[in-house]
Amino acid sequence: MFGSIPAALTFYWRMQMPETARYTALIARNTKKAAADMSAVLQQDIVEEVEVVESHVVGGDTWGLFSRQFAKRHGVHLLATTTTWFFLDIAFYSQNLFQKDIFSKVGWIPKAATMNAIEEVYRVARAQAIIAMCGTVPGYWFTVAFIDIIGRYIIQLQGFFFMTVFMFALAIPYHHWTTPGHHTGFVVLYAFTFFFANFGPNSTTFIVPAEVFPARLRSTCHGISAACGKAGAIVGTFGFLYSSQGKTAATRDKGYPKGIGMKNSLLVLAFTNLAGLTMSLLVPEAKGKSLEEMALETVEEGEEPQPSTSRV
């Protein structure tokens, strides 16, 4: 519950923020208020230009989510953003939430039954902190540094690719990693999967949906994409909990049915990453383009929209 406090503290300041100028001008059609809001934010005078605004509201404010126009212009984009977020969260949440179990089974930290509560908390926290500092956090900063240089498409593609490679490298010789003396290698490869998750789809899957859809449907499509991601998190969390159980009573937790084992579960995650890689081929590149260009909001009705799939 403590996590609700920082969120609550942001509420007042969020309520003081104006609506985005694009929504106010393009959807609410209040160019005067949009100009005033932007003037306050940028602290400089901005003059409303009704003609310019009207040239950017071609079609996007008349057709809906389930229309033929949306399917033609953005159907593939929505398929790409929903499926890639779904596949990512299956793998990412499985790896993240069950680090303790994975580390115990490869012998990096002792089994819970051999430690008291304080020692277990310390060892698990230390292990997760090492993974975060060596993999998760640097991955995010790499994305910040390179997203407008190499683009969203390449970052997401290479992220899923290396997540797949490293997960196969963990899963195929799994028994090798569980033998004494090889735990460090397992942890290094495991950290790399988190590095390329964050220098990859765990960053881009929530950036791309905010850039490729028209203003009127942008939040809706982003919400649909995010909901698919959370569905993937549910599948990954409960699926991995049961699938990673061993095939014999001695290799599974008390009270759980027989699973496919840790090795096969990691293989499933590898193939999940591969599926995410495949669907990422449909993700458009937004680097260097305005939101209007990406959303095809300046394309007249009857014109053939040009697919925004440029990679450079």
Burial class (CB in 10 A: 0-12, 13-18, 19+), 178: middle
- Confidence (pLDDT) at 181: 77
Q: Report the alpha-carbon distance of residue 58 to residue 300 in Å, rounded.
A: 6
Helix (H, G, I), strand (E, B) or coil at 260: coil
CB contact at 8 A, 182 and 173: no
- Confidence (pLDDT) at 200: 95
**Total count of residues recorded for the chain:** 312
Q: How far does the chain reach from its first CA to its final CA, in angstroms?
A: 44
- Confidence (pLDDT) at 308: 46
Q: Which residue has the tokens 């001695």?
A: 250
- Confidence (pLDDT) at 312: 40
DSSP string spanning 3-23?
THHHHHHHHHHHHHSPPPHHI
Q: Report the alpha-carbon distance of residue 142 to residue 136 in Å, rounded.
A: 10
CB contact at 8 A, 48 and 32: yes
Regions of the chain with pLDDT less than 50: 58-60, 307-312
Label residues 128-161 b or e (16+ Cβ within 10 Å = b). eeebbebbbebbeebbeeebeeebbbbbbbbbbb
Report pTM.
Answer: 0.81
- Confidence (pLDDT) at 59: 46
- Confidence (pLDDT) at 165: 96
Q: Report the alpha-carbon distance of residue 71 to residue 73 in Å, rounded.
A: 6
Helix (H, G, I), strand (E, B) or coil at 55: coil
**What is the number of alpha carbons within 13 Å of residue 133 lying toward its C-beta?**
6
Distance from chain centroid for Cα 254? 33
- Confidence (pLDDT) at 48: 63
Angstrom distances, CA of residue 24 to CA of 13, 109, 204, 221: 19, 54, 26, 18
Amino acid at 277: L
